[in-house]
């Protein structure tokens, strides 16, 4: 390969690289107008703003949620009991080594005592294998509920570090008929908690949120979340190539074609 051909190859590679970066760029706030395209919901998921006891997200106002209401059977975490529930997985996103994965969450439940439900957030690799159990939440009559009764310890750092339930029958539309209802001690909500986890290795990942009834399907629970960032970049829908990048690609091809005819 001569010097001219090598230079053209390098320039083409650079232009293609810019185009690929553009196609995988993340959109801005993800829950402004519904669940993002490419996010996969099993069961009942949605988007809300301030609703009853659950305030607007501290990040952007609206937030995403999953709830056990009208959920499907068999979504419990491996090794744990579970009845009906819901699960939401993000589209695949890229992360660099040591990137911080951050988001806010708010656990809400109308079920207590020995029937307390649970929720979780996990980081999965592109083959859906668990990389980290970011946190689990399950109510106790008193004290911290993360991780709660019989649940795995969180691998994320939480702020505040001790997560207590704000007691009472929570009013929140995603709970359906269980909104403003409560079974025994342990009902309530956490308020907004910040979760931070440092990703160890560069790669492609999914973020998964879930909520499941424990031993029966009576009295529902849910999880709200928002402000998801990786390395400080908001995680959303992969955008299409930007016109500027495509235009630059076209101009580069035109330039190379002219050089070839002149040569």
In a domain, 188, yes or no: yes
In a domain, 176, yes or no: yes
Taking 50 as the threshold, does the pLDDT of residue 114 lie above it? yes
Contact 119, 180 (CB under 8 A): no
Tokens of residue 91, six digits = 């589209």
In a domain, 4, yes or no: no
**Euclidean distance between CA atoms 96 and 108, whole angstroms:** 32
Specify the higher pLDDT residue, 243 or 47.
47
Lowest mean pLDDT among 15-24, 44-53, 124-133: 15-24
In a domain, 194, yes or no: yes
CA distances from 158 to 152, 154, 167, 210, 233 (A): 15, 8, 20, 18, 19
In a domain, 17, yes or no: no
Tokens of residue 129, six digits = 């294998």
Number of structural domains (the chain) is 1
Mean pLDDT of the region 38-66: 94
**Euclidean distance between CA atoms 71 and 61, whole angstroms:** 25
For the segment 201-228, what is each residue's pLDDT rounded down to a tens digit? 999 999 999 999 988 888 999 999 999 9
Can you give the pLDDT at residue 80? 84
In a domain, 92, yes or no: yes
Mean pLDDT of the region 6-22: 42
Q: What percent of the chain has pLDDT over 90?
A: 56
Tokens of residue 44, six digits = 């009942």
Report the number of secondary-structure helices (H) and strands (E) in the chain.
Answer: 2, 16
For the chain, the average pLDDT equals: 82
Mean pLDDT of the region 170-186: 94
Residue 119: give its domain's CATH number: 2.60.120.260
pTM of the entire predicted model:
0.80
Helix, coil or strand: residue 46: strand
Can you give the pLDDT at residue 216? 85
Calculated CA dihedral for residues 11, 17, 22, 26, nearest 10 degrees: -150
Residue 258 CA from chain centroid, whole number: 48
In a domain, 195, yes or no: yes
167-172 contacts: CB < 8 A, separation 24 or more?
168/53, 169/110, 170/52, 170/53, 170/54, 170/108, 170/109, 170/110, 171/52, 171/53, 172/51, 172/52, 172/53, 172/54, 172/108, 172/222
Lowest mean pLDDT among 64-73, 138-147, 148-157, 158-167: 138-147
At residue 143 the predicted structure's pLDDT band, cuts being 50, 70 and 90, is low
Taking 50 as the threshold, does the pLDDT of residue 260 lie above it? no
Residues spanned by the domain of 181 = 25-234
In a domain, 256, yes or no: no
Taking 50 as the threshold, does the pLDDT of residue 59 lie above it? yes
Q: What percent of the chain has pLDDT over 70?
A: 77
């Amino acid at each position: 390969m001569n010097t001219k051909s090598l230079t053209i190859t390098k320039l083409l590679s650079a232009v293609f690289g810019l185009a690929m970066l553009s196609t995988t760029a993340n959109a801005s706030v993800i829950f402004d107008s519904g669940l993002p395209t490419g996010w996969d919901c099993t069961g009942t998921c949605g988007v809300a703003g301030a609703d009853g006891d659950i305030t607007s997200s501290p990040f952007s106002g609206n937030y995403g949620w999953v709830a056990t209401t009208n959920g499907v059977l068999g979504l419990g975490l491996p090794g744990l009991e579970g009845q009906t529930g819901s699960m939401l997985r993000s589209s695949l996103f890229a992360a660099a080594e040591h990137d911080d994965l951050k988001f806010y969450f708010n656990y809400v439940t109308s079920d207590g005592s020995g029937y307390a439900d649970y929720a979780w957030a996990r980081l999965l690799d592109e083959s859906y294998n668990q990389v980290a159990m970011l946190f689990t939440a399950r109510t106790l009559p008193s004290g911290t509920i993360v991780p709660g009764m019989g649940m795995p310890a969180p691998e994320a750092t939480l702020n505040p570090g001790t997560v207590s339930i704000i007691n009472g029958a929570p009013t929140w539309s995603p709970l359906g008929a269980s909104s403003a209802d409560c079974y025994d001690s342990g009902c309530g909500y956490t308020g907004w908690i910040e979760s931070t986890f440092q990703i160890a290795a560069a790669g492609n990942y999914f973020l998964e949120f879930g909520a499941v009834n424990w031993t029966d399907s009576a009295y529902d629970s849910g999880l709200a979340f928002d402000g998801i960032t990786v390395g400080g970049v908001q995680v959303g829908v992969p955008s299409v190539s930007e016109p500027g990048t495509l235009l630059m690609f076209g101009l580069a091809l035109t330039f190379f074609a002219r050089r070839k005819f002149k040569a």
